[in-house]
Amino acid sequence: MLAKSLVAATAIALSLAVPTIAQDASPNGTWVDRWGTSFTFELCGDGTQLCGVLNDIQGDSRTEENLKFVNQEVVRGTQTGPNKWEGNIALNGGNAKATVELTGPDTLKITGCRAVILCSSIDYHRQ
């Protein structure tokens, strides 16, 4: 009986220590990274897909090649789990595999991968 109580208490303590995001959290809105690059994301298609338009690009990624993508839809993904979409992102003149994940109510992470081993993640905050 003591072991069951200890397991239950541990589970409760862990659930209180790890913040969770509501499964119906919305990615809709404008998101900005620490350099000032911004995207507008919204649910699209049947309401479970995610579409993202590049609003502005700053930092080292602000190249003539990437500026061509401003005001264009550059992210499209299919929901693969609660608050997570996988698809493609237009990047440096090509496409890369991308994962977009809500990591908090006002935080989002985009991970882009080329050749599976060349991956990069950037955190965004809701504007």
Alpha carbons 27 and 108: distance in angstroms, whole number: 8
Instruction: For residue 61, count CB atoms less than 10 angstroms from its CB and return exposed for 0-12, middle for 13-18, buried for 19 or more.
Output: middle
Do the domain assignments include residue 15? no
Instruction: Give the phi and the psi of residue 92 in degrees, each rounded to 5.
Output: 45, 50
The pLDDT, as a whole number, for residue 34 is 96
pTM more than 0.85? no
Residue 39 has pLDDT above 80, yes or no: yes
CB under 8 Å to 85, separation ≥6 — which residues?
27, 49, 50, 77, 78, 79, 99, 100, 101
Do the domain assignments include residue 6? no
Return mean pLDDT, the chain.
84
Residue 17 has pLDDT above 60, yes or no: no
Domain count, the chain: 1
Do the domain assignments include residue 111? yes
Do the domain assignments include residue 47? yes
In the chain, % of residues over pLDDT 70? 81
Do the domain assignments include residue 53? yes
CATH code (residue 65)? 2.40.128.520
Do the domain assignments include residue 12? no
Task: Please give the residue range of the domain that contains residue 70.
Answer: 21-126
Do the domain assignments include residue 1? no
Q: What is the DSSP string of 25-55?
A: ----EEEE-TTS-EEEEEEETTTTEEEEEEE
Do the domain assignments include residue 115? yes
